[in-house]
Amino acid sequence: MPLAAAIAPTTWHGTVARAQAPAAADLILHHGKIVTVDPSFRIAEAIAIQGDRIVAVGSPDEVEKAAGPATKRIDLAGKMVLPGLIDSHTHPTGASMIEHQHPIPDMETVQDVLDYIRDRAKETPKGDWVVVRQVFITRLKEQRYPTRAELDAVAPEHPVLFSTGPDASVNSLALKQSGIDKSFQVEGAARIEKDPATGEPTGILRNATRYLKVRETTKKPTRDEERRRLAELFRDYNSVGLTAIIDRNASPSGISLFEELMRDHALTVRVGISHGVDSSGKLEEIQARIKAVADHPLRRGGPMLRIVGIKMFLDGGMLTGSAYMREPWGVSKIYSIDDPHYRGVLFIPPERLLPMVRATVENGLQFTAHSVGDGAVHALLDAYEEVNRSTAVAPTRPCLTHSNFMSRQAIEQAKRLGVVVDIQPAWLYLDTRTLAAQFGDERLRYFQPLRSLFEAGVIVGGGSDHMQKIGSFRSINPYNPFLGMWVAITRRAKGYEGRLHREQALSREQAIRFYTLNNAHLLFLEDRIGSLEPGKLADLVVLDRDLLTCPEDDIPRTKVLATYLNGQPIFTAAPSPTPTP
């Protein structure tokens, strides 16, 4: 049966790899390019599936031995097959609901932002808040925050919050309603920027949005709307080949949504959960929260839904000017930094971080923290090092999340301790233009050092940090895995000439591992998924082109023809229209 007709829901030499199957195969895909991603990265021509398992991989003649009278066969006509792709970092429950009331346009300039705020102000009662989230200044043409005066001009009768993760720009009414003036003092790892001449707040807040008295009046979605939107997002994940993800800051409400979808047989991606844990408050209360996560029933969940660990936030962001660096950021118009000694913001001091990491490891959970700057990366590695003196950390696969700014020493330390790394190439693609302007080329030598990590033997997985919107290219950040592979292979970025330290580029084989077997390891599922080997679960994708040989710039254009989860088709591309004379 030809591929186009059969998928309506490959060179191997030598002995076939085959598991002991109790029954004949239900499905055989043959005459394709089956990229196994096994330890030898072998290429086969056929694969047999029985139930939810792979039972044979090899040549068409050898795999045919697994067939029976009812076996369905699909001729791949030379198409490439990969293991199901995995995203090591998403925020699906929040991302799916961003546009549930109205579409949010792309914003590429400060004027786009101001136009959107002006339009929302017209639709919002006077005195109510207008809120814009996750539009990053690194990606705006002007590479700066909208100013307090600009926000005042477009929404003088509305408090306005332009939020970019932990940092924000606000207007005068937002400051006034929140009681933030020249004498206002913050506590802990926070900062309110002030005009050096007048002492008045400029409107730039760093990790201080908790002081804003935001009262959003948007209509709260129903539970059914939340389930429907999340299922829609997961179907879109499937359409780009994703069969598994890690939610890197799951809430109890979000976890219950996953459980409801699984109960209703509507969960179409495997979900590993990093349960969010607040790092503020008394240490004994935080340790109790960590213990509660370890005792959650989903800690013993199966390969479709399982808690793998916890997530905290250690520093700010490179997109906002608050990542914690080992060296000062430098005075910057881009990030509104006027202190030459400013190094960013470390949210958790080392003396508090250590007992949190220790409690997590002792409870058998993976610890990870948002750690963007090299100062934060080294702080977390040092905490792992200290805990490791009394309790081995490697079995819990301690993680560095984001880990954009690294060093040779950090890579060596991560390898020695068994630390895994969760990196998002989309950040390199979208933010290099601004980062290069801020830091210069030399300071970016160890920015997302993928090749060095691979060569050192550190297991590093590729993710997106998908935050908002449904759509693999229109989302913030884009979750199209083929775009991620292309960035990792080329080190090319939007609006940036050349390639950012091309010595850190991955090979095509490494880029495929980056989104398959390596991420399976981060999910603690490398014995079940991530490669196409007999005995493993039958998660796989059929592609329209050969990622190992196609022109480099064709990689992001890759289309998924079919996606299988547990041996069942969960996505099938619509057939191309027949040309007319």
Range of weakest confidence among 110-119, 331-340, 427-436 = 331-340
The per-residue pLDDT for range 397-420, each reduced to its tens digit, is: 999 999 999 999 999 999 999 999
Report pLDDT for 386: 98
Q: pLDDT tens digit string along 143-180?
A: 899 999 999 999 999 999 998 877 899 999 999 999 99
> Once rounded to an integer, what is the mean pLDDT over residues 273-300?
97
The model carries a pTM of 0.90
pLDDT bucket at 5, cuts 50 / 70 / 90: very low
Question: Per-residue pLDDT tens for 39-78?
Answer: 999 999 999 999 999 999 999 999 999 999 999 999 999 9
According to the model, what pLDDT value does residue 22 have? 56
Q: Is the pLDDT of residue 328 over 50?
A: yes
Residue with tokens 């202190």: 339
Show Cβ contacts of residue 228 under 8 Å, excluding neighbours closer than 6 positions: none
Distance of alpha carbon 350 from alpha carbon 380, whole angstroms: 8
The more confident residue out of 130 and 22 is 130
In this predicted structure, the answer to whether residue 18 has a pLDDT above a threshold of 80 is no
pLDDT at 3: 53
Report how far residue 406's alpha carbon sits from residue 372's, in angstroms, rounded to the nearest whole number. Answer: 9
pLDDT digits (tens, 9 = 90+) for 348-404: 999 999 999 999 999 999 999 999 999 999 999 999 999 999 999 999 999 999 999
DSSP string, 410-451: HHHHHHHHT-EEEE-HHHHHHHHHHHHHHH-TGGGTTBS-HH
- Give me the residues paired with residue 247 across strands: 90, 273
Q: Is the pLDDT of residue 269 over 90?
A: yes
Please, which pLDDT band fits residue 285 given cuts at 50, 70 and 90? very high
Residues 215-220: what's their mean pLDDT?
77
pLDDT at 104 over 90: no
Contact in structure between 520 and 549 (CB atoms under 8 Å): no
Per-residue tokens: 112: 């786009």
| 167, containing H or E segment | strand 167-170
User: For 179-183, what is the mean pLDDT?
Assistant: 92
pLDDT tens readout for residues 256-267: 999 999 999 999
Q: Is the pLDDT of residue 298 over 50?
A: yes
